[in-house]
């Protein structure tokens, strides 16, 4: 019984992590209809910024996390203004080719600057280890992930559903022409949204270094996971990818624990089954745009 | 499209051949070593260490041997066998190299094997570690290690040191399976029991569920082999889950505590016992000098890949000395057989029958020395041959 709960806890933490890493992609892919395969590169940037601040400059871990968000968002906005915006109207194939190229460039650049070996972020002692709650092993670091990611999810949902910016964004996505006719600065809304998505990826990158490892190949290694989350969740809302992340995280951990021989395939099997059942993802819009 | 590119490639080849014909004068006095290493991709740290070590050796010993100038031509194969093959072909056909060397992973070393046989030039394997490699061509010689060497030794050590029940966690690819099989063979023969066996996918580094499974199986120790690079993740999550406090030790071949990464792993790694060919803390004077020179030149400590590269280029130098600069491949490979020398890792030799390395395997424990983590050696198994072959 306790091992079931321990696995459930690990699965939730893993799922939350996947969500923070992937939800920026859900925003660009789903809301802005832009295929950004370079998403993982922004996550990696956040991870490395956090590593440099903590390991080399001696910042506390919790102070470096917001900086990871801000720097990835800044890189995001710079690239959006200079490169990405020219591709909004182009075909998906052009977008794929451009962003995958960007990914390879980021891999080479980080490899050149930081070297290819895997790096770790020095965590404060308070985040290391596990404690027991009625026999259930609770990892401190994983608990922190659940708290941070949970709060972020709630915040994100509030922003999208309740605020003026949220409704502007939804309007800009649904019909950019009508929205700009109503006085909404569509390019600005998109730029901001894109940057925010990149920032979330950066934060996710910084948080994931401990669990997934951080090296220059991060964007390529985890691209598949981001895409699975977004495909399974459907890309029209935040709740879809959120529930998909949880489902996949728990499924992945449980699969590896109970059937280690075929563990790695559990996540793919789940994706296939869900997509056969609901081709647009769990919460996908049925009507194509 | 296809015809055009074939044509231009042919044209380029002819042009290069022509160029080579125009400037043949120097070729007589130069020995060329084609070095094929993964300089990019997941195995890049292997390539970098070997390249560094070779540079260091040539700085120390000069770039002429037996009256010939040694020239290194480096090619990056990113550990992809197809690229290795192309690179080897180019080196042999266009650059007319006298040796091919390097090879970060087993498939790369195997891809080049038929070319070494055809061209009759020595292939010096400086990293790849599965047993079969040297059997694929009479021209292959190895200066790194085989996984059988360290995995069987740690199994024997475990049996003798009160470790009865072991859970294994190995990466699901050829070297991982080699490590697992050789370990199991000796461990069960010595009366040990493998209570849990988990193979982890190469791509996914979150060990949490696998480690939880290990913890619930309550073994005396976990036998681990993961590729260099994942060792850090493994050790961190091992500690996070409290396996160290549950009294479950970590044992394995030394890849999991590679010197390259060891310092980053944190104190959880203290006490880990591994069997391996090299530690930066090896107490010989030669190694102290080697580590100091390497640190001075490249800013970090050398790992076992660096020492394999260092010994590889040494073997090439010694073979040339023995043939008096004769670059006939068959004579060179003969000259390499049975070579014996003192390496930073200790005394080593090349088995004349298998052309594989014979070396000491050390049992080491991770300890803190001057504030840094090191694999400190405490027992030595002398002159270990590759058991993958001698068992046949």
Query: Residues A46-55: pLDDT tens digits?
Result: 999 999 999 8
Task: Report the pLDDT value the prediction gives residue B8, as an integer from 0 to 100.
Answer: 57
A39-73 as b/e: b if 16+ CB within 10 A: bbbbbbbbbbbbbbbbeeeeeebeebbebbbbbbb
Q: How far apart are CA B301 and CA B308, in angstroms?
A: 14
Task: Report the pLDDT value the prediction gives residue A288, as an integer from 0 to 100.
Answer: 42
Query: Are B261 and B287 in contact, with CB atoms under 8 Å apart?
Result: no
Residues of A in contact with B244 (CB under 8 A): none
Percent of chain A with pLDDT over 90: 26
Task: Report the pLDDT value the prediction gives residue B6, as an integer from 0 to 100.
Answer: 54
Question: Does the beta-carbon distance from B40 to A129 stay under 8 Å?
Answer: no
Task: Report the pLDDT value the prediction gives residue A41, as an integer from 0 to 100.
Answer: 94
pLDDT single digits (tens) B39-75:
877 778 889 999 999 999 999 999 999 889 999 999 9
Task: Report the pLDDT value the prediction gives residue B15, as an integer from 0 to 100.
Answer: 52
Contacts of A162 (CB under 8 A, 6+ apart): none
**φ and ψ at A213, to 5 degrees?**
90, 150
Residues of B in contact with A141 (CB under 8 A): 240
Please state, in angstroms and as integers, the Cα–Cα distance from residue B172 to each residue in A246, A262, B213, following that order.
Answer: 26, 12, 17
Name the band, by pLDDT with cuts 50, 70 and 90, for residue A184.
confident
pLDDT > 60? residue A244: yes
Across the interface, which of B199, B201, B242 has its CB nearest the CB of A137? B242
Across the interface, which of B40, B205, B240 has its CB nearest the CB of A111? B40
Considering only A44-58, A90-104, A275-289, B120-134, which range has the smallest mean pLDDT? A275-289
User: Quick one: tokens of A243?
Assistant: 């529930």
Task: Report the pLDDT value the prediction gives residue A65, as an integer from 0 to 100.
Answer: 92
B338-355 as b/e: b if 16+ CB within 10 A: ebeeebbbbebbbbeebb
ipTM of the complex: 0.77
Across the interface, which of A137, A213, A217 has its CB nearest the CB of B233? A213
Contacts of B38 (CB under 8 A, 6+ apart): B44, B46, B47, B76, B77, B78, B79, B104, B105, B108
**Which residues of chain B fall short of a pLDDT of 50?**
1-3, 18-19, 21-25, 392
Residues of B in contact with A256 (CB under 8 A): 209-210, 213
Report the pLDDT averaged over residues A189-206: 90
Query: Are B91 and B16 in contact, with CB atoms under 8 Å apart?
Result: no
Question: Does the beta-carbon distance from B232 to A108 stay under 8 Å?
Answer: no
Q: How far apart are CA B103 and CA B266, in angstroms?
A: 31
**Enclosing H/E stretch for B288:** helix B285-298
CB atoms closer than 10 angstroms to residue A260: 18
DSSP string, B53-93: HHHHHHHHH-SEETTEEEEEEEEE-TT-HHHHHHHHHHHHH
Task: Report the pLDDT value the prediction gives residue B24, as an integer from 0 to 100.
Answer: 44
Tell me how many residue pairs between chain A and chain B have CB atoms under 8 A apart. Answer: 95
Hey, which residues does B167 pair with through a beta bridge?
Answer: B196, B222
Q: Tokens 């996918």 appear where?
A: B201
Report the pLDDT averaged over residues A104-133: 83
Q: How far apart are CA B209 and CA A259, in angstroms?
A: 10
Question: Does the beta-carbon distance from A7 to B264 stay under 8 Å?
Answer: no
Question: Does the beta-carbon distance from A115 to B48 stay under 8 Å?
Answer: yes
Q: Tokens 């890309």 appear where?
A: A235
| 3 state SS of B179 | helix
Taking the Cβ of residue B300 and every Cβ of chain A, the question of whether any pair is shorter than 8 Å is answered with no
Q: How far is A235 from chain B (nearest CA, A)?
A: 25
| 3 state SS of B122 | coil
Percent of chain B with pLDDT over 70: 91
B389 versus A267: which is more confidently predicted? A267
Dihedral angle sign, alpha carbons of residues A21, A24, A30, A35: negative
Taking the Cβ of residue B241 and every Cβ of chain A, the question of whether any pair is shorter than 8 Å is answered with yes
Task: Report the pLDDT value the prediction gives residue A227, as an integer from 0 to 100.
Answer: 87
Question: Does the beta-carbon distance from B199 to A260 stay under 8 Å?
Answer: yes
Contacts of B10 (CB under 8 A, 6+ apart): none
Please state, in angstroms and as integers, the Cα–Cα distance from residue B202 to each residue in A108, A221, B131, B170, B198, following that order.
Answer: 22, 11, 20, 9, 12
Taking the Cβ of residue B171 and every Cβ of chain A, the question of whether any pair is shorter than 8 Å is answered with no
């Amino acid at each position: 019984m306790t091992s079931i709960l321990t696995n459930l806890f690990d699965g939730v933490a893993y799922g939350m992590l996947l969500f923070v890493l992937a939800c920026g992609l859900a925003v660009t892919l789903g809301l802005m209809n832009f295929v950004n395969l370079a998403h993982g590169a922004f996550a990696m940037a956040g991870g490395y910024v956090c590593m440099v601040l903590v390991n080399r400059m001696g910042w506390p871990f919790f102070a470096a996390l917001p900086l990871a968000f801000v720097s990835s968002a800044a890189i995001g906005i710079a690239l959006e203004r200079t490169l990405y915006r020219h591709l909004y109207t182009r075909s998906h194939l052009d977008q794929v080719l451009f962003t995958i190229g960007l990914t390879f460039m980021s891999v080479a650049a980080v490899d050149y600057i930081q070297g290819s070996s895997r790096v770790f972020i020095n965590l404060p002692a308070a985040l290391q280890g596990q404690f027991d709650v009625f026999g259930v092993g609770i990892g401190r670091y994983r608990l922190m992930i659940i708290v941070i990611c949970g709060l972020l999810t709630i915040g994100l949902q509030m922003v999208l559903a309740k605020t003026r910016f949220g409704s502007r964004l939804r309007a800009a996505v649904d019909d950019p022409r009508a929205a700009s006719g109503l006085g909404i600065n569509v390019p600005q809304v998109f730029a901001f949204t894109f940057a925010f998505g990149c920032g979330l990826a950066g934060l996710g990158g910084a948080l994931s270094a401990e669990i997934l490892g951080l090296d220059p190949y991060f964007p390529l290694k985890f691209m598949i996971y981001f895409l699975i989350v977004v495909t399974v969740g459907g890309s029209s809302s935040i709740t879809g990818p959120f529930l998909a992340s949880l489902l996949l995280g728990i499924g992945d951990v449980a699969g590896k624990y109970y059937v280690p021989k075929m563990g790695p395939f559990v996540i793919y099997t789940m994706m296939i089954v869900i997509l056969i059942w609901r081709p647009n993802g769990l919460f996908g819009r049925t009507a194509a745009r | 499209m296809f015809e055009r590119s074939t044509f231009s490639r042919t044209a380029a080849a002819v042009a290069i051949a022509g160029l080579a014909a125009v400037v043949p004068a120097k070729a007589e006095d130069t020995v060329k070593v084609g070095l094929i290493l993964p300089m990019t991709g997941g195995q890049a740290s292997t390539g970098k260490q070997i390249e560094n070590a070779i540079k260091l050796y040539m700085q120390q010993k000069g770039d002429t041997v037996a009256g010939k100038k040694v020239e290194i031509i480096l090619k990056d194969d990113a550990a992809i066998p197809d690229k290795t093959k192309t690179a080897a072909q180019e080196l042999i056909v266009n650059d007319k190299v006298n040796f091919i060397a390097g090879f970060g992973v087993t498939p790369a070393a195997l891809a080049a094997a038929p070319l070494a046989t055809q061209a009759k030039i020595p292939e010096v394997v400086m990293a790849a570690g599965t047993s079969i490699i040297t059997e694929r061509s009479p021209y292959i010689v190895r200066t790194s290690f085989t996984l059988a060497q360290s995995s069987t030794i740690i199994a024997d050590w475990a049996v003798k040191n009160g470790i009865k029940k072991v859970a294994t966690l190995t990466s699901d690819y050829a070297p991982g399976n080699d490590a697992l099989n050789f370990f199991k063979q000796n461990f069960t023969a010595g009366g040990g029991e493998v209570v849990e066996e988990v193979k982890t996918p190469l791509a996914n580094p979150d060990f949490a569920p696998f480690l939880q499974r290990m913890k619930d199986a309550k073994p005396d120790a976990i036998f681990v082999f993961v590729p260099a690079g994942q060792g850090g993740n493994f050790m961190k999550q091992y500690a996070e889950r409290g396996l160290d406090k549950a009294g479950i030790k970590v044992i394995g071949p030394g890849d999991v505590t590679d010197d390259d990464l060891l310092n980053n792993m944190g104190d959880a790694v203290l006490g880990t016992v591994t069997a391996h060919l090299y530690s930066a803390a090896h107490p010989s004077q030669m190694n102290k000098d080697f580590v100091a020179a390497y640190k001075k030149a490249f800013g970090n400590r050398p790992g076992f890949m660096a020492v394999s590269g260092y010994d590889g280029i040494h073997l090439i130098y010694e073979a040339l000395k023995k043939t008096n600069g004769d670059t006939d491949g068959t004579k060179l490979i003969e000259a390499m057989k049975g070579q014996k020398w003192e390496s930073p890792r200790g005394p080593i030799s090349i088995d004349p029958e298998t052309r594989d390395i014979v070396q000491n395997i050390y049992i080491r424990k991770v300890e803190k020395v001057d504030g840094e983590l090191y694999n400190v050696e405490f027992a030595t198994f002398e002159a270990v041959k590759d058991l993958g072959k001698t068992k046949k």
